[in-house]
Amino acid sequence: MPLDPTPHPLSAPEPTAARALLTVTGADRPGVTARLFAGLSGVDGLAVEVLDVEQVVVHGHLVLGVVVGVIDDGGTLVGEAQLLDHLRGVAGDVEAATGVRVAVESASDPGAPTAAGRPHHVILLGRPVPPDAVAGAARAVAEIGGNIDAIRRLSDYPVTSFELTVSGAEATELRTALASVAATTGADIAVEQVGVARRSKRLIVLDVDSTLVRGEVIDELAARAGRAAEVARITAAAMNGELDFEESLRARVAVLAGLPEEVLDEVREHLVLTPGARTLIGTLQRLGFRCGIVSGGFTQITDPLAESLGLDFAAANTLEVVDGKLTGGLVGEIVDRPGKARALIRFAGQYGIPLDQTVAVGDGANDLDMLNTAGLGIAFNAKPFVREQAHTALNQPYLDAVLQVLGFTRDEVLDAVP
């Protein structure tokens, strides 16, 4: 079919409905929001609809933003100038009645850029959070084309933490850009995708040595055998990923041969929980989480610990004991790096919880498979080798800072306390 050579005029673009932004600032007091919206409901006969609202109160100072438009009733399209003129009248009435300031401006720019991709939460934690950490994070987001849509404080104790909602940036690029900020400022910065998955976590597994408790149990046992320095060197190499974990474990356990079984009770009684451990576990339990421990340590230590904390499950290695003395051997399945991941999968299946709804926390190389199998893996005061490969890292001394990474505010933690 031949092309029609007759020129046709281009269609006129569809007119854009007028929109406006009202920004309210001033001392917060009861009735300000109600007064504003009451005024908007009767804008000189215009049928106004609310398109977006955001309100925050910071130390008694109110900032309220409202985007409104005119409902199309099929008649004459209301122009922007007419809408703004009417809204300025409403703003003046609200200012006179409440003492706040109400700014009115156009929100009808059709060429305004829209951020692509899923938004992300960026959590800044520290004790304290230095201004250069916030500045650096904001600059890093801007440099990769992202935008900070909102900021809120999550906690002021035991750490200070802020949550930035960032749009227009891809997760890997965002994590890479923020990693250097964390390294130079000393603040912890975590990145998570916005969505229901973040607040739908239902199971957490914790490593024990240097995570749930301070120090390494096997180092304490070795000290009682007079082999502390030797075992500490092997432990450090294993946690840094320099030695195969099972091989290093068997080498360390061998030096315990001959120790009386009562030594296990002594070490267990002297365990010191990491600050915030009880708060983390208690809060998550009251929020319906299944909580447990997966350890490369020993059941003679971890099982009583799990019972005392009311945990749902525990997995660890078992020291062989004959005639009341340690033989220097192990019995049963070895819980090593892949064994920890298998334990997580087993416990999640036991409770019917999908892996993307699980959280794992650990510090050593033998935790990496578990951290990467979980929906969220958190390296806690971990070796650099581990921090670089985990989903996110915490370098605070408080284990309950995990709650802020999960998006819980300090008020929500306090509300969970019976």
* Catalytic positions: 207, 209
User: Which pair of structure tokens corresponds to residue 388?
Assistant: 């670089």
Upper half-sphere CA count for residue 121 (Cβ side, 13 Å) = 24
How far apart are the C-alpha atoms of 257 and 306, rounded to whole Å? 26
Residue 6: CB partners within 8 Å, gap ≥ 6? Answer: none
88 vs 105: CA distance, rounded Å: 9
Q: Six-digit token pair at 69?
A: 């438009």
Contacts made by residues 340-344, CB under 8 angstroms, sequence distance 24+: 340/207, 340/294, 340/296, 340/315, 340/366, 340/367, 340/369, 340/370, 341/369, 341/370, 341/372, 341/373, 343/205, 343/294, 343/315, 343/370, 344/205, 344/294, 344/370, 344/373, 344/374
CB 375 within 8 A of CB 358: yes
Burial class (CB in 10 A: 0-12, 13-18, 19+), 394: buried
Bridge pairing between strands 290-298 and 313-322 = parallel
Take residue 390 and report the two structure tokens written for it: 């985990």
Q: Give the integer Cα–Cα distance in Å for 157 and 305.
A: 26
Q: How far apart are CA 26 and CA 10, in angstroms?
A: 49
Distance CA 66, CA 51 (A): 8
Q: How far apart are CA 86 and CA 69, in angstroms?
A: 12
> How large is the greatest C-alpha to C-alpha distance in the chain, in angstroms?
104
* 8 A C-beta contact, residue 124 and residue 189: yes
